[in-house]
Structure 1
Amino acid sequence: MRQRETLPAVTDAADPSTSTAVPARDDRLHQPWRLAVAAVELVLAVAAGWAATWCWGSAVTTVTIHADDGTELVSHVYEGNWIGLAFVAAAVAGLLLVDGARQIVLGVRTRRRRRRRVSPQARPADAR
């Protein structure tokens, strides 16, 4: 006759020494120092936005040619390397803004850690 396998009790799942389940919320993510990281990222995002604007302005060159008959020809030359650098700087600024917002959320939503009570049923057998 076969013996039935007994499943662990629900309270055993709360014990980290016997459980392999991943906790629903990781308290290591929510730290107040993330607000300082967010401030630095937001300053860097402003600097990257300024760099994108400056690169875009440097990408356009106006060329004026005066003809012999007195006409004036005006051309705008767009330099691709500066335009590409402006797009890269804008993308970096956008990523820094998104990650800065994430850091703010993780820094603000910190909670005091409460000590979790472990029921006698959930304690390992050697701790009793």
Structure 2
Amino acid sequence: MIVQRLALFDLDNTLVDRSEAFQRWAAGFCAEHDLPEDALAWLLATDRDGSVPRDWFFGEVRQRFGLAASADRLWREYRRRMPELVSCRTGVLSLLTTLRQRGWRIAIVTNGQADNQLGKIRRTGLDEARTGPAS
């Protein structure tokens, strides 16, 4: 019997630091839209660490700050920007490389929008660590 070793990893806040990236996005969003001083804290609290639906979140953002852009447009801009802001947690790439060298298959599991999540995976180099050849 052949036993296959498989490790599944969640993407956001496991392999990549989604919380830090969101905070950076929110700070930039506040500056870009010249939002009031308390806007950053409101965005962070309302985001609930990514646990609320994005369409709802951006509808609330639009309404709260009286933005002219549609919630869909705000969400699209967010999805475009977020992959540029993420970074891997310390040691992640080396851990994945070690697992691959020891014969493990690695998979990334995520429930986010495909364009956004694939952008994060590519930006951080996780695509190479996940699919590189095992030694």
Does the pair score TM above 0.5?
no
Report the TM-score, using the length of structure 1 for normalisation.
0.26
Question: Radius of gyration: which is bigger?
Answer: 1
More helix by share: 2
Report the TM-score, using the length of structure 2 for normalisation.
0.25
